[in-house]
Chains A and B, each alone.
Chain A
Amino acid sequence: MTNLFTETHIHLAEGFSPADQGELVHQVEPSDSIVGPDDLILVTGASGFVGTRVVESLLGRGFRNLRCFVRPSSPTDWLGALSTRGHGAGIEVLKGNLLSREDCAAATRDVALIYHLAAGRGEKSFPDAFMNSVVTTRNLLDASLNHKCLKRFVNISSFTVYTNRQKSRWGLLDETCPVETHSDWRGEAYCFGKVKQDELVTEYGQRFGVPHVIVRPGYVIGPGKTAITGRVGIETFGFFLHMGGSNRIPFTFVENCADAIALAGLKKGVDGEIFNVVDDDLPSSRLFLRLYKRKVRKFRSLYVPHVLSYVLCSLWERYSTWSQGQVPPVFNRGRWFANWKRTDYSNQKLKTRLGWSPRVSMAEGLNRYFEACQNRESNA
Chain B
Amino acid sequence: MLRVAIVGCGKIADSHVSQIQRIKGCEIVGVCDREPLMARQLCERFPIKQHFSDLEELLSKARPDVVHITTPPESHIELARFCLEAGCHVYLEKPFTLHAEETERLIALAIEKQLKITAGHDDQFSHAARRMRSLIAEGFLGGAPVHLESYYCYELGQSAYASALLGDKRHWVRQLPGKLLQNVISHGIARIAEFISSDSPQVIAYGFRSPFLKKMGETEIIDELRVIVSDEDDTTAYFTFSSQMRPSLHQLRIYGPKNGLIMDHDQETLIKLNGVRYPSYAEKFVPPLDLARQYLRNWTTNLRTFLGRDFHMKSGMKFLSESFYRSITEGAPLPIPYREILLTARIMDAIFIQLNQQDSRDQVGRTAPLHPATTR
A97 touching B170 in the complex, CB below 8 Å, given contacts A125-B11, A130-B38, A324-B22: yes
Please give me the residue from chain A that is nearest to B165 by CB atom: A73
A135 touches B312 (CB 8 A): no
Verify if B282 is at the interface (C-beta below 8 Å from A).
no
Distance of B346 from chain A, by nearest CB (Å): 32
Q: What separation, in Å, do the CA atoms of A184 and B41 have in the docked complex?
A: 10
**A4 vs B167: C-alpha distance when bound (angstroms):** 14
Q: Evaluate contact between B38 and A135: CB separation under 8 angstroms.
A: yes
Inter-subunit contact B41/A73 (CB<8 Å): no
- A325-B37 in contact given A73-B164, A127-B11 (Cβ < 8 Å): no
Say if the beta carbon of A109 comes within 8 Å of chain B: no
A349 within 8 A of B: no
Q: Return the chain A residue nearest B318 by Cβ.
A: A324
Give min CB distance, A292 to chain B, whole Å.
25
Asked whether A72 lies within 8 Å of B37 as measured between CB atoms, the reply is no
A326 within 8 A of B: yes
B376 at the binding interface (Cβ < 8 Å): no
Question: Chain B residues with Cβ under 8 A from A71's Cβ?
Answer: 167-168
Q: Report whether B14 and A131 are in contact in the complex, using a CB–CB cutoff of 8 Å.
A: no
Interface residue from B18, B35, B44, B159 paired with A184 (Cβ < 8 Å): B44
B45 and A125 within 8 A (CB): no
Question: Measured between C-beta atoms, what is the minimum distance from A207 to chain B in Å?
Answer: 15
A126 lies within 8 A of chain B by Cβ = yes
Given A325-B312, A326-B309, A326-B312, does the pair A130, B168 have CB atoms closer than 8 Å?
no
Partner of A73, one of B45, B168, B310: B168
Tell me how far the C-beta of B271 lies from the nearest C-beta in chain A, rounded to whole angstroms. 25
Q: Which residues of B contact A192 (CB under 8 A)?
A: 45
- Tell whether B311 is near chain A: CB-to-CB under 8 Å: yes
Kindly report which residue of chain A lies nearest to residue B46, judged by CB atoms: A184
B302 to chain A, nearest CB (A): 12
Provided the pairs A125-B14, A126-B41, A184-B44 are in contact, do residues A72 and B169 lie with their beta carbons within 8 angstroms? yes
C-alpha gap A135/B42 in the complex (Å) = 13
Q: Is the CB of A73 within 8 A of B38?
A: no
Given A71-B167, A125-B14, A128-B160, residue A196 in contact with residue B41 (CB < 8 A): yes
Q: Are A128 and B11 in contact (CB under 8 A)?
A: yes
Q: How far is the CA of A328 from the CA of B14 in the complex (A)?
A: 12
Q: Interface of chain B, helix or strand or loop or mixed?
A: helix
Q: Looking at the assembled complex, report how far the CB atom of B42 sits from the nearest CB atom of chain A, in whole angstroms.
A: 7
B247 to chain A minimum Cβ distance, whole angstroms, is 18
Which residues of chain A are within 8 angstroms of B169 by Cβ–Cβ distance?
Answer: 72
Any chain B CB within 8 A of the CB of A194?
A: no
A20 within 8 A of B: no
Give the Cβ gap from B87 to chain A, nearest Cβ, in Å.
29
A127 close to B159 (CB less than 8 A): no
Using C-beta atoms within 8 Å of the partner chain, give the interface range for chain A.
20 to 34
The residues of B that contact A127 with a CB separation of less than 8 Å are 9-11, 13-14, 38, 41-42
Q: Which residues of A contact B44 (CB under 8 A)?
A: 184
Instruction: Knowing A73-B167, A127-B41, say if A326 contacts B13 (CB, 8 Å).
Output: no
Q: Which residues of B10-48 have CB atoms within 8 Å of chain A's CB atoms?
A: 10-11, 13-14, 18, 21-22, 35, 37-38, 41-42, 44-45
A17–B299 Cα distance when bound, in Å, is: 63
Please tell me if A364 contacts chain B, counting CB pairs below 8 Å.
no
Closest residue on chain B to residue A193 by CB atoms? B41
For residues 322 through 337 of chain A, which have their beta carbon under 8 Å from a beta carbon of chain B? 322-326
Q: Determine how close the nearest CB of chain A comes to the CB of B366; give it in whole angstroms.
A: 25
Q: Could you say which residues of chain A place their CB within 8 Å of the CB of B9?
A: 127
Asked if B37 contacts A130 (CB within 8 A), the reply is yes
* C-alpha spacing A323/B312, complex, angstroms: 9
How far apart are the CA atoms of A128 and B9 in the complex, in Å? Answer: 10
Query: Does A134 sit at the interface, judged by CB under 8 A?
Result: yes
Contacts A126-B14, A131-B10; is A73 near B166 (CB within 8 Å)? yes
Chain A min CB distance to B160 (Å): 5
Residue B206 at the chain A interface, CB threshold 8 Å: no
Across the interface, which residues of B come within 8 angstroms of A130, CB to CB? Answer: 37-38, 41
Of all chain B residues, the one with the shortest Cβ separation from A121 is B160
| B312 and A123 contacting across the interface, CB-CB below 8 Å | no
Q: Of residues B10, B18, B45, which shows the largest number of chain A Cβ atoms within 10 Å of its Cβ?
A: B45
Q: How far is the CB of A196 from chain B (nearest CB, A)?
A: 7
Inter-chain contacts of B10 with A (CB < 8 A): 127-128, 131
1/0 contact string of B212-238 vs chain A (CB within 8 Å): 000000000000000000000000000
Residues of B at the A interface (CB closer than 8 Å) are 9-11, 13-14, 18, 21-22, 35, 37-38, 41-42, 44-45, 159-160, 163-164, 166-170, 306, 309-312
List 4 other contacts, CB 8 Å, given A123-B160, A130-B37: A73-B167, A127-B14, A135-B35, A135-B38
Q: Report 21 cross-chain contacts, Cβ distance below 8 Å, ordered by A residue.
A: A71-B168, A72-B168, A74-B167, A97-B168, A123-B160, A126-B41, A127-B9, A128-B11, A130-B41, A131-B10, A134-B37, A134-B41, A135-B37, A138-B37, A184-B44, A192-B45, A324-B18, A324-B22, A324-B309, A326-B310, A326-B312
**Pairs A-B, 3 closest by C-beta atoms:** A73-B167, A323-B309, A184-B45
